[in-house]
Structure 1
Amino acid sequence: MNDRLKTFIAFAKLGQFLRDFINNTPKETEWSNKLQDAIILAGHKNGWFTEENIKYTLGQWSELLTEDRLNEWFSKYDVEKNKLKKVALIMAGNIPLVGFHDFLAVLLTGNSVLIKLSSNDSVLLPFLSEYLIEVEPSIRNRIEFKKDQLKDFDVVIATGSNNTARYFEYYFGKVPNIIRKNRNSVAVLTGEESMEQLEALGEDIFRYYGLGCRSVSKLFVPQGYDFDPFFKAIYTYRDIIELKKYANNYDYNKAVYLMSEFKILDNGFLILKKDKSYASPIASSFYEEYASLSGLKQRLESDAQKIQCIVGAGIDDNEIAFGHTQRPRLTDYADGIDTVEFLLKT
């Protein structure tokens, strides 16, 4: 059995372990206890990483890490022609395991990975790596975590803000790279949405407290849109305000808006502000009215480099259904750049 096949099987075993854990039917009690401890520790280190959200992330990966889905994903690639390399991954830490897809792609292509973790998400990936090494010891020499300066690598995949991207481009511009900047996700409403669709939109807005690039931070609505159905539909998410960090952001941003005499809409846990920007502060969403869908489509096309996901129904060829932004498929690559293809051609 070659190393690549062993790696596929190891990730499939990880998927089964996570499914058992999420379904409360653990077959590996010791590892399940260790994972629960890791979840608690991750939450202590980062107050945004609630147990619910971490388990949501693990649940999503448990569904994707099966032999069938992994093989289907890689079936279109000629992995045998890959030239083995060491890939440096500089990871963000805005939501749990945000860099796991890159980690997965690097190892499944047969490459080695050199990882610089964000201090905001420094617990979960090392734990999952330990489990992979336990079930397939040959992977050990292909995974390395670094706290200091990265050296001796062939390729870089770095994720950060627009500011850190300039730093990345300066230091890593001489090697093949993918450098990701700020992106946000939007939803296009027409006024014809059902209550079920609007409630599902709440999942896109509130999951991970809106901290992900796939989190909807901007609504496009037709002129004269009535927000009452929207507010009624998302009321089911009202308990989000119980997290103190979220509540503090809500109170602060509301105070800033009111002191600045901005016109806002507010339901006690989400603030809506009319604004042309895409990136809204925590506990708030921006909205903008459009005169025609054709004009809006042109706007979205021109701003494509700022947008990660477009949520809607019959609006865009690549749109995502309401409630599904935080349920990406293995083929949903960040910024639309095929990471596997990049790694194989580099």
Structure 2
Amino acid sequence: MNSIQNRIEAFVKLGTFLSQFSNNKIDKKENIEHNDLFFDGFIHQIKLAQENNSWFTKDNILFALESWSKTLTESDLNGFVNTIDFDKQSDKKVAIIMAGNIPLVGFHDFLSVLISGHSVLVKQSSSDRHLLPFLAKYLEYVEKNFKGKITFTEKKLTDFDAIIATGSNNTARYFEYYFKDKPSIIRKSRNSVAVITGKETEEDFINLADDVFQYFGLGCRSVSKLYVPKDFNFDLFFTGMYTKKDIINNAKYANNYDYNKAVYLMSEFDLLENGFLMIKEDESYSSPIATIFYEYYDNEIDLKIKLHQDKEKIQCIVAKDFIENEVAFGQTQHPQLTDYADGVNTLEFLSKI
């Protein structure tokens, strides 16, 4: 019997395996199950992931692995599943269409489906195809009941009971039409914002630099837009951002910075920039790489109303004592298991299909 406790235990073992890979060091530990089979192979997969997608730097991949290793603990996983009764349901096949913007971006859906007792059919993005199949193989070794329950495909998806699909706003429309007869979670593009009230410290802005620059700003939890009070002085903001100045040494980031700067200058937009980041006044939420949009606000109540009206476009709101469910400065890339993408409870959905 593949009980939920066995499934939790398998993911805890995966977390222990991943704890060997962090930005401080990659360190082969004793007493980790199947390490001789998997450790060197995973180092190779990390290398392949870097070569396949130049946004996937070693630092960013290791950051993602370390984040998951800290989350895949017995207490966190028990807390994650304890609200829902999974042991009374039948095993369904759930398809997942994954994005590829940051390393292992689809892992939460993968975890949710398997821990719920369902089988998973994964269609990966070509940008992020090396890490997850290898980790899936590790799970099959530590929990034999996962064998036959994990399938990866590059073909058209067929023969499944429900689907979780993540894409752009355009592909989401296609997904909604194409999968209209199946239970589904369809995720669209979202961005994250920071609200500056004037009460922030220098340390808050240093922490905000993590929210802006981690994964080069490519994640939906990455801050791409600031709301600032009238007459806000950006000096403190730029001081905080300066801690990440070395990002310009990444060739792909630098190319995007140069290109976007040239476009803005030719269009004669007003810009503030510091050599590796531009800020531009703009009402949009989604800013290009190396750019943050900002908007002035007059009063806090109007801003709260606007953020509520636009909640379908926003993943996180970073702020300090401003709004309910805000995320603290520096914490957007450290979500809890219950911080569901787009606010849709994946486990609840999986318990009802």
Alignment TM class, shorter chain as reference: over 0.9
Which is helix-richer, 1 or 2? Answer: 1
Count of paired positions: 346
Equivalent runs, 1:74-223 vs 2, <5 Å: 74-223=81-230
**Cα distance in structure 1, aligned partners of 2:344 and 2:336:** 14
The match for 1:15 is 15
Amino acid at match of 1:13: K
Partner of 1:26: 29
Match for 1:333 among 323, 331, 340?
340
Question: What is the deviation of 1:325?
Answer: 0.4
Stretch of structure 1 that moved more, 97-106 or 131-140: 131-140
Answer yes or no: is 1:274 the counterpart of 2:277.
no
Contact 1:15 1:63 survives alignment (8 Å): yes
Shift in CA distance, 317/114, structure 1 to aligned 2, threshold 3 Å: same
1:255 & 1:304 partners in 2: Cα distance? Answer: 32
CA distance in 1, matches of 2:117, 2:352: 13
1:68 equivalent to 2:75? Answer yes
CA offset digits 1:8-33 (Å, max 9, x no partner): 11111001111133362423254221
Aligned sequence identity (%): 56
Partner of 2:271: 264
Q: Secondary structure at the match of 1:313?
A: coil
How far does residue 167 in structure 1 lie from its aligned partner after superposition?
Answer: 1.1
CA distance in structure 1 between the aligned counterparts of 2:173 and 2:29, rounded to whole angstroms: 45
Q: Matches of 1:298 and 1:185 in 2, distance apart?
A: 16
Residue 344 (str. 1) matches residue 344 (str. 2): no
One-letter amino acid matched to 1:105: S
Amino acid at match of 1:196: E
Query: How many angstroms apart in 2 are the aligned matches of 1:243 and 1:250?
Result: 11
Structure 1 unaligned residues grouped into runs of 5+: none
Question: 2: CA distance between counterparts of 1:217 and 1:40?
Answer: 29
Between the aligned partners of 1:135 and 1:345, the Cα distance in structure 2 is 28
Q: 1:236 aligns with which of 237, 243, 252?
A: 243
Gaps of 5+ in 2: none
Q: CA separation in 2, counterparts of 1:6 and 1:102? A: 19
CA distance in 2, matches of 1:284, 1:227: 14
**Deviation of the 1:3 alpha carbon:** 3.9
RMSD: 1.1
**TM-score normalised to structure 1 length:** 0.98
- Tell whether 2:320 aligns with 1:317: no
Aligned to 2:4: 4
Summarize deviations over 1:304-341 as a string: whole Å, max 9, x none.
Answer: 00000000001111000000101100000000000000
Matched, 1:289 2:296: yes
User: For 1:211 and 1:14, how far apart are their aligned partners in 2?
Assistant: 26
Q: Is residue 315 of structure 2 the alignment partner of residue 308 of structure 1? A: yes
Provide the rounded CA distance (Å) in 2 between the counterparts of 1:242 and 1:60. Answer: 24
More deviation in 14-23 or 223-232?
14-23
| TM-score normalised over the length of structure 2 | 0.96
What's the offset of the Cα at 1:137? 2.3
Q: Counterpart of 1:48? A: 55
